[in-house]
Amino acid sequence: MNDAASDPANLSRLHDLVTPPPVSWWPPAPGLYVAAAALLVLLIWSSWRFVILWRRNAYRREALRLLNTLPVDASSLLQLDELLKRVALSVWPREEVAALSGSAWLEFLDRTAEGKDFVTGAGRVLGEAAWLPHQPQTDVRAVLTAAENWIRHHDVERSC
C-alpha cells in the first residue's frame, strides 16, 4: 500500500485540472484607447468636412431645383441662360463673369467644366438666346441636360 501511495504514476492520485478564471475584457488595453481616440478624431473631421462641402454646394442644389422648374420648350432658353449666369456669379468674381456674353460666355462654360457642350454641343444656342429667344430647331432637352451637367460638375478652382 505504501507503494501505491508513493507511486507518482498511480491513477488514484489524479485530480481535476485547475483552470484560471477567464481574462476580463475590461479595462481594455491602452492601444484600444489610442485607436478609439483616432477613430473619434477621424469621425469628427469627416463630419466637419461633409458639413462644409454641403454648405459650399448649396447654390448648386438651389440651381438644380430651379432648373427642374423650367419648362422643356424653346421659351425657357433665355431663363436657362440667366440661371447659368446667376450660378456663375455666385462663385466667380463679378468682374470676371458679368460682362461675358455670346461665344465668350459659352467658352467660359466649357472651360470651367472641361467639356464641349456649349461651344460645339447642344448648348451653343445659349449664345444667341437673348437675340433669338424662340429657336424652333433646338433640342431643348439636350440643352437642359448640358446645363445640368455644368451646374453639377463645374470646377470653381478654374478661373478665367
| 129-142 confidence digits (pLDDT tens) | 656 655 556 788 99
Distance CA 52, CA 140 (A): 34
The mean pLDDT of 82-92, rounded to a whole number, is 95
Report the pLDDT value the prediction gives residue 76, as an integer from 0 to 100: 86
For the chain, which residues make up each domain, given as ranges? 12-53, 58-153
The residue with cell 440661371 is 83
Identify the residue whose cell numbers are 470653381: 156
Per-residue pLDDT at 73: 83
Instruction: Give me 31's grid cell.
Output: 492601444
